[in-house]
């Protein structure tokens, strides 16, 4: 509005309605990302993101407030918050970050842009500190930081390999809160569940991750029309994180069919490696998980999109059989 030079206010309100299939597939993570935000299978309305940003120069900004972390790991073909591209959580965010990084917490950070924020596709470096106890439905600096803090760093480098758009992102987090140790026998876990004992804790947890996309073909007159590949890889502290390593790979694109310039598609595969010494109780045995998803987003009109979706999931919970999930989304833009 011309009243606050270099200043921005960014807000997001979220809510849920109805029931979700996530608990039925045996997967550790959300098959339908809408069932994860703002809180898993909880019918509540929250302001999960209220952030003030102030540019101190054309290349540096400071931000603070209630910060949501879901969009930090997005790429050209696998992001969209589960609404416009993939539905499965494993194609929206790297799951190795979930143990250390709260989804929404009070915090602050610095962002650097190279050469500057006005460049067409600048490199970015982001440094942030978030409260370790943050939840989407709570607010308050003291409560969120009561048990510790999560420190994160992320660097994104745009590339032009083959003269085509691409980007590489590397990041890491460290949370100094005390977390339950993974390496505990089933008898100790059962005793804790019965109130007969407590589980051992380790101080702090960490993770590191990598994310890329690369176009392999684009139309000469419009670089947004084309297709390419994407992937993610990550690993985490096996003393405290049940997810030890993760990777995903896939193909995505836009406008691959004649006269369907604004249709988008994606095909992806993911693999989750669990800590191999996780305690297993008789009724709950868990192992590595993998899955496949394909979607096609159809533009009916510029304001109306319909997206059929298919997932095949080999779940973490061993007593669950392979799940086949059909989905259909309708998106309207006003």
Domain membership of residue 291 (yes or no) is yes
pLDDT digits (tens, 9 = 90+) for 9-37: 999 999 888 888 888 888 878 899 888 88
Tens of pLDDT, residue by residue over 69-115, are 888 788 899 988 888 899 999 999 999 998 888 889 999 999 999 99
Residue 123: inside a domain: yes
How far apart, in whole angstroms, are the C-alpha atoms of residue 30 and residue 36? 6
CA 43 to chain centre: 21
Mean pLDDT of 195-209: 69
In-domain check, residue 1: no
Q: Choose among 7, 26, 30: nearest CA to 327.
A: 30
The residue among 74, 97, 89, 101 whose CA lies nearest residue 21 is: 89
Examine residue 237 and state whether it is found in any structural domain, yes or no: yes
DSSP sequence for 266-329: EEEEEEEEE-TT---BTTB-B--EEEEEEEEEEEEETTEEEEEEEEEEE-SBTTSPPEEEEEEE
Q: Determine the pLDDT at residue 284.
A: 59
Residue of 135, 159, 133 lying closest to 147 (CA atoms) = 133
Whether 261 is covered by a domain: the verdict is yes
- How confident is the model over 201-206, as a mean pLDDT? 77
Let me know if residue 124 belongs to a domain: yes
Coil vs helix vs strand at 235: strand
Q: How many domains does the chain have?
A: 1
Task: Note the pTM of the prediction, 2 decimals.
Answer: 0.86
Q: Residue 279 — very low, low, confident or very high, per pLDDT cuts 50/70/90? A: low
**CA quadruple 235, 239, 240, 243: dihedral sign:** positive
The burial class, CB within 10 Å (0-12 / 13-18 / 19+), for 171 is buried
Q: What is the span of the domain harbouring residue 176? A: 7-332
Distances (CA, A) of 300 to 80, 111, 141, 234, 276: 19, 38, 45, 37, 47
Which CATH number covers residue 320? Answer: 2.40.160
Please count the other Cβ atoms lying within 10 Å of the Cβ belonging to residue 94.
28
Q: The tokens of 265 are what? A: 């598609």
């Amino acid at each position: 509005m011309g009243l606050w030079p270099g200043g921005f206010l960014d807000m997001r309100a979220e809510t849920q309605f109805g029931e979700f299939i996530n608990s039925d597939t045996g997967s550790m993570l959300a098959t339908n990302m809408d069932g994860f935000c703002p809180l898993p299978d909880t019918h509540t309305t929250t302001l999960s993101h209220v952030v003030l940003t102030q540019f101190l120069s054309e290349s540096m900004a400071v931000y603070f407030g209630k910060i949501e972390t879901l969009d930090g790991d997005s790429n050209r073909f696998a992001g969209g918050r589960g609404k416009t591209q993939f539905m499965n959580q494993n194609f929206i965010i790297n799951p190795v970050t979930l143990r250390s990084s709260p989804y929404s917490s009070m915090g602050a950070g610095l962002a650097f842009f190279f050469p500057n924020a006005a460049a067409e596709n600048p490199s970015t470096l982001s440094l942030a500190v978030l409260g370790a106890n943050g939840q989407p439905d709570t607010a308050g600096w003291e409560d969120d930081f009561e048990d510790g803090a999560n420190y994160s760093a992320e660097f994104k480098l745009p590339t032009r390999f083959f003269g085509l758009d691409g980007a590489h992102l590397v990041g890491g987090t460290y949370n100094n809160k005390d977390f339950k140790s993974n390496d505990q026998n089933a008898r100790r876990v059962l005793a804790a569940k019965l109130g007969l004992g407590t589980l051992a804790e380790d101080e702090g947890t960490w993770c590191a991750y990598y994310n890329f996309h690369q176009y392999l073909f684009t139309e000469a007159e419009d670089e947004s029309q084309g297709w390419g590949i994407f992937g993610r890889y990550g690993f985490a502290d096996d003393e405290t994180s049940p997810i030890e390593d993760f990777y995903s790979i896939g193909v995505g694109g836009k406008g691959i069919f004649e006269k369907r310039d604004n249709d988008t598609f994606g095909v992806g595969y993911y693999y989750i490696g669990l800590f191999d010494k996780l305690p297993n109780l008789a009724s709950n045995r868990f192992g590595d998980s993998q899955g496949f998803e394909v979607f096609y987003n159809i533009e009916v009109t510029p304001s109306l999109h319909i997206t059929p979706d298919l997932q095949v999931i080999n779940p973490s919970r061993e007593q669950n059989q392979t799940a086949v999930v059909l989905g259909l989304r309708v998106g309207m833009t006003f």
